[in-house]
Amino acid sequence: MNQPTKDVLVIGGGQSALAVGYYLRKTNLNYVILDQASQTGGSWPHYWESLRLFSPAQWSSLPGVLMPGGSDYYPSRDDTIRYLEAYEVRYQLPIVRAVMVTEILQRGNEFIVTSSQGEYRSRAIISATGSFQKPYIPDMPGLAEFRGTILHSAQYQTAKLFRGQRVLVVGEGNSGAQILAEVSQVANTTWVTLKEPEFLPDDISGRDLFDYASAAYRAKKDGESYTPPSLGNIVMVPSVQQARQRGVYRSVRPFSEFTTVGVRWPDGKEEAVDTVIFSTGFRPALDHLQPLGVVETDGKVTTHGTKAAKKDGLWLVGYGNWTGFASATLIGVGRSAKQTVSEVTAYLR
């Protein structure tokens, strides 16, 4: 069923869309948030069961209300989902579920949005679909012939499925470290990384990283020089500290190729493997914008801040630093959302 033309359509229903909704509700604009999921939380309900945030609750919050837990508690996946559910209710955001947006076109001054629930029209679009829908696994030789199990961290839920197996965990970031900490308790594991992983000191949290990065951001904006401390990448949440005590974090450089039953290492040695879990990141989920001709060959959209450079009336929020400093984080997306809504309001005026 076709809908009356809105001032703004927000595509996506995760943390970025909620932050945008928080600021849109303070305007006189007529807007709707279209979420393809059937429940609140965006990507959070799909993450693994034991996930912990890298920053304490006080520094892991969207604009308007703090996540419960204070300055010393690292929220779990389920804590975060409950917080986002309460956030949506608290601010009575107009979210329509489950709406799969397949393409967006522009006719005159209107955007035409084709979806699983009919056609929507709006004068402006804010895309906030994130990247979880597009997990990245490198195309390695022999991958298609491997008879074992290939997983991305986006599909990983619990270690108990791998009990007694031979498992490789690929990726030197926080996700890889947390998944390895858990799987290593029930399986024979090897950590495969491009370079030697770097760990933060135990007394440094994700909050400190954000503060350092914020200082660098402000300095750059003011034309000043600031180099944040080189501290490493992996935050020492409790599960990672415990795994370190067990001697889990010994890494090797990548294997050369897959075989039918395992992998071949650079020295030619072959090894049987049951499962390979890739914690190798994501790509922006922007297929719905392809008809507008704005998606570049690298899969991103050229932006000035969050505004699309090649299409008036289009903004992108929450895809990473190319759409605003720390915009893919709970604490960081608020700044991008606020600026975006200010620009959208001025544009529609």
Task: Give the H or E element holding residue 113.
Answer: strand 110-115
Report the alpha-carbon distance of residue 313 to residue 216 in Å, rounded.
30
Find out whether the peptide bond into 98 is cis, omega within 30 degrees of 0: yes
| pLDDT confidence of residue 220 | 61
Task: Return phi, psi of residue 112, to 5°.
Answer: -110, 120
Helix (H) or strand (E) holding 305: none
Phi, psi of 101 (to 5 degrees): -85, 120
Dihedral sign for Cα atoms in the order 83, 85, 86, 91: positive
pLDDT of amino acid 13: 94
Between the alpha carbon of residue 70 and those of residues 57, 75, 130, the distances in Å are: 6, 10, 27
Q: Could you tell me the domains of the chain?
A: 6-134+282-348 (3.50.50.60), 143-199+234-278 (3.50.50.60)
Q: For 316, list phi and psi in degrees, rounded to 5.
A: -130, 130
CA distance 342 to 220: 22
Contact 288, 99 (CB under 8 A): no
* Cβ atoms within 10 Å of 325's Cβ, excluding its own: 20
Per-residue pLDDT of the chain (349 residues; tens, 9 = 90+): 567 899 999 999 999 999 999 999 999 999 999 999 988 988 999 998 888 887 888 888 999 999 998 888 889 999 999 999 999 999 999 999 999 999 999 998 899 999 998 999 999 999 999 999 999 999 999 999 999 999 999 999 999 999 999 999 999 888 999 999 999 999 999 999 999 988 877 666 656 666 666 666 566 666 666 555 544 478 777 888 899 999 999 999 999 999 999 999 999 999 999 999 999 999 999 999 999 999 999 999 999 999 999 999 999 999 988 888 778 888 889 999 999 999 999 999 8
Give me the pLDDT at residue 219, please: 61
3-state SS assignment for residue 207: helix
DSSP state of 179: H
Report the candidate in 226, 13, 236, 248 with the shortest Cα–Cα distance to residue 115.
13
Radius of gyration of the chain (CA): 21
Residue 210: per-residue pLDDT:
61
Quote the pLDDT of residue 330. Answer: 86
Q: What CA–CA distance (Å, rounded) separates 249 from 228?
A: 26
Spatial distance between the Cα atoms of 295 and 18, rounded to a whole number of angstroms? 24
Q: How far apart are CA 173 and CA 281, in angstroms?
A: 9
Burial state string for 246-276 with b = 16 or more CB within 10 A and e = fewer than 16 = eebbebeeebebbbeebbbbeeeeeeebbbb
Angle (deg, nearest 10), helices 15-24 and 333-348 = 50
Distance of CA 99 to the CA centre of its chain: 20
pLDDT at 93: 96
Spatial neighbors of 193 by CB under 8 A, at least 6 apart, are 170, 171, 172, 176, 251, 252, 253, 254
- Token pair, residue 245, equals 């005590």
Residue 167: strand, helix, or coil: strand
User: Could you give the CA distance from residue 101 to residue 118 in angstroms, rounded to a whole number?
Assistant: 9
- CA 3 from chain center: how many Å? 30
